[in-house]
Structures are given as C-alpha cells and as structure tokens.
A and B are shown apart, each in its own frame.
Chain A
Amino acid sequence: MDNVFAVLSSSFARKAILVAFLAGGSISILGAFLNIKGANFLGAALAHTIFSAGALAYLLGLPVFPVAFFSAITVSFLSYFLALREGGTVERTSGLLFTFTMALGILFVSLMKRYDPSVMALLFGDILTAGTEDIVASLITAVLTFVGFVLLWRKMVIIFQDREFARVIGIKVVLIEVAFLSVLSLASVSFIKGIGALLFFAFLFSPPATSSILCRGLSCYFISSLITGIVASVSGTVLSFVFDIPSGPAIVLILMLFYFSAWIFNYLKGLRSQRG
C-alpha cells in the first residue's frame, strides 16, 4: 500500500494515471457503440493507420498529430461509408484497410535510415511520458465523447442497430455518423501516444465484450463498459509503477481477467438457475 501512495505522490505518475483514466473511459464508451454496430475491427484499422501515419510523419519530418488525424479520418470514413455504399460490412472494409495501412507502416519503417523508438512507441505506447499536451488532447477527446454520449446515445444505438429504421423515424443519420467517426478518429490520435495502438484496440473491444456477458439492458451495458475500462486502465497503470512492469500488458491482462471473471460468473449463474 505504501508503494501505491509513493507512486501517487510523483507528478509524472499522476499524469499517467489521469491519461489512463481518460483513455479507459472514453475508448470503452466509443467501443460500446462499435460493438453495437458490429464494427470492432474498425478500431484495429484505425490503430494501425496511426502507426503508418506516424512512421510517414517521422520519415518526412512532418508533425505527427495532423498527419495521423487526417489519416485516421480518411480510413474511418472510407471503412464505414464504403461498406454502406457497397452493401458489405464495416468489418470487411476495415480488415482490408487494416492490412493496407499495416503494410504501409512497415514499408515506411523500412525506409527510415535509422531506428526511431518514437515510431515503435506508437504500437506499444508510453504512458509514463505523458506530458501536458497529451493531457489536454485527452481531456478534449474525453469531453467530446461524454457530451456526445449524453446528447446522442439513444439515436446512436438506433442508427447502429438499424440504419434504415433510424432514417425513417427522422434521425439525421449521416450527421451523427460523421460526428461519431470524427470523435473516434480524434480518440485514436489523442490516446495512441500514451497507450499505443494495441491497447487502443483492447480498450475498444474488451470492456463492451465483458459488459455484453454481464448485462441485460443498455444502462448496465454502457455503465459497465465505462467502469471496466477505467478500473482496468487505472489499476493497470498503478500496478505497472508498483511492480515496475510495462503498463500496456498489465492493463490488457486486467481487461482479460475481467472478461473471464464475467464469463465464469455468467456460467455459474446459469448453472444455479438450472438447478433452481
């Protein structure tokens, strides 16, 4: 316990925990909507887009943030609206763009004359180096996510569940989809330096998957996703400080622990109801 207090007393640790808190909360809520749409793989496509965009920016000496944001917006819009236009699934177009951007990223890295650890940090993240700029970007993304959620969650659930029905009842479908994809792209750029591409995808996928097992209705689903994301990210970050282990794997292991615990709980509950 003393170790935990010692960690919390340091400034850089508090910054890291704040970024983890904002990332865990925001990304898990965005992931909950992607799960409703059945488009979780869009997160993987975005994560690897940021990696390739970062590699390109380092290669050409350009600022990372605008290049990454432009790439993320392009890939998320292409994945989503191409699928709608061609009548396929977002998973399929996301998968195609995921392999394409990953290939581009590796190509750009191979063209670099010297190894740059900043590029690899985009894959695995480095939450301990979170600076004031990262915290501001994370705060802006978190505020946009939660304001958007409070105002639009009902409409977004209907859109992602049944787009045609949403249009028929008068929801401004395209406007809301564009807003969601923009915030998702912003989140991928804002949080990826801290938590990395792989963890970004884990946050999109694991909390909604865990909540889907535990919950029956939407309130439980969203609240449970939020709590799972925040608790896993904060506790994983604190544990990484205390035990001097990388934060990314610690967070993913806790997310998986939550998932399997939920699965076992659900299984035992089913057994008990069968006996009862």
Chain B
Amino acid sequence: MKDLSLERFNGNPGASDRGTGSNNLILKTRDLLCGYGSSFRVGPISIELERGEVLIVLGPNGAGKTTFLKTVLGLLKPLSGGIDLLTKKIGYVPQREAFPDFPLTVFEYVSLPLMIKEKGLSRKEVSIRVFELLSLVGLKEKANAKVVWLSGGQFRRLTIARSLVGNPDLILLDEPLTFLDLASQREVVEILGILKDRGVSQVVVTHDINPLFSVGDKALFVGNRVVFGKIDDVLREDLLEEVYGEKVIVIEHQGRKCLIHADHHRPHGNFSYFGRRFPDG
C-alpha cells in the first residue's frame, strides 16, 4: 500500500485531499500499522477526523497510543498502511517534557518556535502574537517568569500555547492531563474546548477519558482490540472489556458519562472524578 505519510513532507496535501473525497477531512489513516519493527506493533488502525473534531485515543498503558501519535506526526515511520494528513499546520504537545533547567522565560518558550515557524515577523508582531497565545492559556501575567517557576498545570498550559504557534489546524496532545490535579485538568480541558470552538482539530492521547467527555467527538481504543467511532457509539462495556481485558462500567449521571473499573472496592479505583464531575453524588 502506498505510504501517504511521505506526501506530507513532499508538500502535496492536495493529492491526498482528492483521494478522500471530503473537504472537511483533516486526518485519515487506512489500515495503519505502527510500532517498532517486529518487537511491538499496534493496528491496523483506520480513522477519519474532520475539521474541529476531537479524537480521544484511549487504551491501557503500553498499548501503543503514543506510538500511534508519533507515527501520525511523522516521528516514526508506519510499518504499513497509509496516513492522509490534509494540513501542514500541525501542533504538538509532548507527553513528558521536562522543565527547562536553564534560564528561559515563559515569553521565550513561545516566541522561539514562533519566530521559526512564522518567519519575517517584526519584534512587535512577535510580542503581540505571544501575548495572544499566553492570554488564551491564562499565562499572560507570567510572561517574564522563568519557566521553571511554573506549576505543573501552568507548564502544561504553556506547552499548549507553544503548540499553537503557526495557527495549526490540527493539534496532537500526548497525555495532556497526566499528573495534573483536578483544577488544572479542568483548565486544560477548557482550553481544548476553546480550540475546538475555533475549529482546531485535536487528537488527544489519554489513559483517562472521563475529564475529556465534554470535548471529545470520536474515540479510538487501542489495546487488545482496536475500535474507532463516535464516542457514544463505541463507549460500550462489551467493547471496553475487549480493549482492556478487564470489566469496565459506563455510568451516566446528569447526561455525562464516566468510566469506572468494575471492582469498586479497589484501593485505586477511579472514583476521584466523582468529587468534581458529580458533586451531588
């Protein structure tokens, strides 16, 4: 099968666009098999994502969620199958970026990639653009602070601001909520909602879908079985049990869904979300 991931680097997105037959489509994978040689493989994965849609990639630890994301980004070569990436304007929020332990301000963290992606901007234009992005993620007041002074949640919001340089049509976020407290999770999800409203498509890799129900449109389950579809269609207990190999319960409260492990009495059961999402319960 033709490897369409190469077309992105050859700057020929139009050719892929014609092949899909949909102007709204921004990302499509066809029987995509990704991994590291014969030692680790995930797929085949076939998905379609339209402009403004949010795809949640979910699955157990080590299932290959990040591998899928890196393959879409072009950081890993697909083992087989094809990727139609119908934009060159892509943003990326990495999974575990360490705090820079050298002098680097919040402003510089965003302005450096901005000046590389959007060449020819004057100093004033750079400043305006950076402050726009920092305002979006609520860090305008921290512009002159050292990055290392930020909290974990603030730093995660900063990485999202950085991913927005170049006005991307599609952002790929790898575990954007990991290690964040509930308030910080809510702030990040709110930002993702704003971006969705602005028509920015998103692929969000996570091990916990619960905080993301409000923004997610489609879900891709990667695990013992690969499942893709609209969230409401695929969020079924039988499918989840096949993906995770464990019993998972889908509960609904005030129109919102939540996944919890079937074994309620486990010490690390997924009840922490009740406090925030279901204050009455």
Q: How far is the CB of A228 from chain B (nearest CB, A)?
A: 13
What are the residues of chain A within 8 A of B145 when measuring CB–CB? Answer: 216
Q: How far is the CB of B75 from chain A (nearest CB, A)?
A: 6
Asked whether B92 lies within 8 Å of A218 as measured between CB atoms, the reply is no
**In the docked arrangement, what's the CA distance between A36 and B99, Å?**
11
Asked whether A158 lies within 8 Å of B102 as measured between CB atoms, the reply is no
**In the docked arrangement, what's the CA distance between A218 and B115, Å?**
15
**In the docked arrangement, what's the CA distance between A157 and B102, Å?**
10
**In the docked arrangement, what's the CA distance between A212 and B101, Å?**
8
What are the residues of chain A within 8 A of B108 when measuring CB–CB? Answer: 217-218
Chain B residue with Cβ nearest A218? B108
Q: Does B239 contact A (CB under 8 A)?
A: no
1/0 per residue, CB under 8 A from B, across A101-138: the answer is 00000000000000000000000000000000000000
Q: How far is the CB of A86 from chain B (nearest CB, A)?
A: 13
A-B contact pairs, 28 of them (CB 8 A): A35-B102, A36-B100, A36-B102, A154-B112, A154-B115, A155-B116, A158-B112, A158-B116, A161-B100, A162-B97, A164-B94, A165-B97, A165-B113, A168-B74, A168-B75, A169-B92, A169-B165, A170-B116, A170-B117, A171-B116, A212-B102, A216-B144, A216-B145, A217-B103, A217-B105, A217-B108, A217-B144, A218-B105
What are the residues of chain A within 8 A of B92 when measuring CB–CB? Answer: 164-165, 168-169
Interface bin, chain B: 20 to 34
Q: Which of B74, B107, B113 contacts A158 (CB 8 A)?
A: B113
Q: Does B77 contact A (CB under 8 A)?
A: no
Chain A interface residues (CB < 8 Å from chain B): 35-36, 38, 154-155, 157-158, 161-162, 164-165, 167-171, 208, 211-212, 215-218, 220-221
Q: Which of B105, B144, B166 contacts A169 (CB 8 A)?
A: B166
Q: Does B73 contact A (CB under 8 A)?
A: yes
Q: Does B219 contact A (CB under 8 A)?
A: no
Q: How far is the CB of A95 from chain B (nearest CB, A)?
A: 19
What are the residues of chain A within 8 A of B107 when measuring CB–CB? Answer: 217
Q: Which of A36, A162, A216 contacts B94 (CB 8 A)?
A: A162
Q: How far is the CB of A84 from chain B (nearest CB, A)?
A: 12
Q: How far is the CB of A39 from chain B (nearest CB, A)?
A: 12
What are the residues of chain B within 8 A of A161 when measuring CB–CB? Answer: 100, 104
Asked whether A157 lies within 8 Å of B103 as measured between CB atoms, the reply is no
Q: How far is the CB of A22 from chain B (nearest CB, A)?
A: 24
Asked whether B104 lies within 8 Å of A217 as measured between CB atoms, the reply is yes
**In the docked arrangement, what's the CA distance between A189 and B113, Å?**
33
Chain A residue with Cβ nearest B102? A36
**In the docked arrangement, what's the CA distance between A155 and B119, Å?**
13
Asked whether B166 lies within 8 Å of A168 as measured between CB atoms, the reply is no
What are the residues of chain B within 8 A of A165 when measuring CB–CB? Answer: 92, 94, 97, 113, 162
Asked whether A216 lies within 8 Å of B112 as measured between CB atoms, the reply is no
Given contacts A164-B75, A217-B104, 8 further A-B contacts (CB under 8 A): A36-B102, A155-B116, A157-B104, A158-B113, A165-B94, A168-B92, A216-B146, A218-B112
Known: A157-B112, A165-B113, A168-B90. A38 touches B105 (CB 8 A): no
Q: How far is the CB of B94 from chain A (nearest CB, A)?
A: 6
